[in-house]
Amino acid sequence: MSMIDPTRYGKYLLLEKLATGGMAQLYRGKIVGVQGFEKIIAIKQILPHLSTEKELVDAFIDEAKLAGLLNHQNIVQIYDFGQIEDSYFICMEYLFGKDLRVIASKSYERQVPLGLQNALYIATRICAGLDYAHKLKDFQGKALNIIHRDISPQNIFITYEGEVKILDFGIAKAASQSTITQMGMIKGKVAYMSPEQASGNPIDHRSDIFSAGILFYEMLSGRKMFQGDTMQILAKVRRAEFDPPEAAIPAMPVTLYRILHQALAKEPSDRYQTCGEMLADLEECMVGLEIRPSSRTLGEYMKGLFTQEIAAEGDFMRDAAEASARPEPEVAPPAMPPAFQEPQGIAPTPAPAAPRKLGTPLLAGIGVALAVAVLGGGYFLLRGAPPAPTPQREMAGTPPQPAVQPPAAGTTPAKAPPAETARTPGKAPAPTSAEKAKGLIEQAQQVAGTNPQEAVSLLLQAIGADPKSAQAHFQLGLLYAKQKEYPKAIQAYGQAADLDPKFPDTFFNLGYVYALTKEYRKAEEMYARVATLEPPYIDEALYNLAIVQEKQGKKQKAIESLERAVRTNPNNTPAEKFLNSLKRKQ
């Protein structure tokens, strides 16, 4: 008897949920037809609670339309797109294998390098798929000018048979699409961006070429091309500052170094102008080296690396073949319990007031959370939000604490327990107020992306348990800001600022909220406060400070702020452009 209990979803059977992200959830499913016809497929379904959000639904539809035009052996294939009641879905081919991120981790763990032959083959297939997408035309013969924008290890999939597939054109953009990316909105994963993308400048298909060059570099070297925390990586990417291939990958043929240098040129005009050109050089290199990589050799490597995983897949497939759905009406499956692998909207933990070494906060949009407001000469960025801590990665300086299960959403916030709790022999001590608050905050981090209202409830309970938790107040402010409940956000940030007056992110985000509500004088005070605290992102604070100063007619002060921003970070392109614009108007 099958161990799988599938759910009917229109004409499909949903066998297993594979992942949940910020916008959609992914299922492994199957199609069952007449005469015993069956096919395993993947179903990408927009999250139920987002089905009423027009902008997100439009983005999901745009993705489906664009992906449906792509028909290439190195790009994941789309079979179907539709709507069942209020739920939109994309049906696509199911791939048996692993992405490059998992492969890199496993090869390091097993000490089995990918090798030159396989790296070359994967690079050629990436270039072939991208070259096709970049040159694709619509049915009227008009160039679509598609840019993937997120060529990274997670989006390069290798099957156990050695096929290479590019995944997730979800943030790809065709020039004809109605959804236009706002100025300064940075998408993709920062360590795999081109310099122009990381700077928030306009990009074209040559940005994907730089990203493909990073993947080739890392496959050959076995290490990250850009290393450090997020802000350090961002600065390095903007400057195209990395160890030369000759130093990172010694004893390689000269032709390979030349290919890498051209793919990774900082200026787009110095790079390969098409992926087809890079593909031609890679193929010529293989001929010169007298090696003939193929899907067969890559497949042998994959089967050796993932023997146990392939066996487990086989067991699942046998169960899937026997699985049949319970008799029920053909309706969308019920909303899934809150689960979010990459939580958004929860900010870094403020370090203790003093003495402390501040962690480097993330730019919203580098990672998961993103808030952009276009005002006057530029855009504002709201600071937030790394993935939630896990048992394997505790917050810096915080010893592991027991997990605390929060009360159900909507219940009365818990009262803070007494400072000292009597210990009963043979029983674990009850958690302290701070421990209980930390557990509630971690629970909020896990559900923030899929159920922000529940996250708010959990954070309020955390504050009830420990009113002096600056972290809880700060994260509550960030959630309120993302929900556009600005008075509540100001109040929450104010509490966080009182509890930890040396944490600059609080004042940065207060400045953002005040700017959105057109309280420019207060916004100016907040950004000036950030500048006095001199965080690693001081140039971004000075840039925002200049915008609100210019909105108040203080052009000379705005120029001074921008000049300081550019002195602090000469690669802050938006600040430099705004400065030049103001000087021209003098």
| 139-143, 224-228, 337-341, 581-585 — most confident range | 224-228
Least confident residue range of 258-262, 299-303, 395-399, 546-550:
395-399
Tens digits of residue pLDDT in 431-483:
788 888 888 888 887 777 778 888 888 899 989 889 999 988 999 988 888 88
**What is the per-residue pLDDT for 369?**
29
The rounded distance, in Å, linking the Cα atoms of 222 and 202 is 31
**What is the per-residue pLDDT for 96?**
92
- Sequence-separated (6 or more) residues with CB below 8 Å from residue 495: 470, 473
- For residues 418 and 560, the model is more confident at 560
CA distance to 55, 366, 509, 536, 550, per residue, from 382 (Å): 20, 11, 6, 15, 19
In this structure, are residues 383 and 361 in contact, taking their beta carbons and an 8 Å threshold? yes
The rounded distance, in Å, linking the Cα atoms of 393 and 63 is 34
**What is the per-residue pLDDT for 98?**
94
Sheet holding 87-93, edge to edge: 7-9, 12-20, 24-32, 38-46, 87-93, 78-84
Query: 378: pLDDT confidence band, cut at 50, 70 and 90?
Result: very low
Averaged pLDDT, 38-52: 84
The rounded distance, in Å, linking the Cα atoms of 524 and 549 is 7
**What is the per-residue pLDDT for 578?**
87
Question: Over 80: is that where the pLDDT of 383 sits?
Answer: no
Question: Over 80: is that where the pLDDT of 219 sits?
Answer: yes
Task: Output the six-digit token pair for 2.
Answer: 């099958």
Whether the link from the prior residue into 355 is cis, omega within 30° of 0, is yes
Query: 324: pLDDT confidence band, cut at 50, 70 and 90?
Result: low
Averaged pLDDT, 217-236: 92
Least confident residue range of 203-207, 270-274, 535-539:
535-539
Query: 266: pLDDT confidence band, cut at 50, 70 and 90?
Result: very high
Is the whole-model pTM more than 0.75? no
Taking all residues of the chain, what is their mean pLDDT, rounded to a whole number?
Answer: 78
Question: Helix 504-516 crosses helix 486-499 at what angle (to 10 degrees)?
Answer: 160
The rounded distance, in Å, linking the Cα atoms of 502 and 358 is 9
Query: 429: pLDDT confidence band, cut at 50, 70 and 90?
Result: low
Q: Which DSSP letter does residue 583 get?
A: H
Tens digits of residue pLDDT in 141-200:
888 889 998 999 999 999 999 999 998 875 555 554 443 333 333 444 799 999 999 998
DSSP for 145-206 reads --B----SGGGEEEETTS-EEE---TT-B-TT-S-PPPTT---S-GGG--HHHHTT----TH
Question: Over 60: is that where the pLDDT of 399 sits?
Answer: no
| 88-92, 163-167, 380-384 — most confident range | 163-167
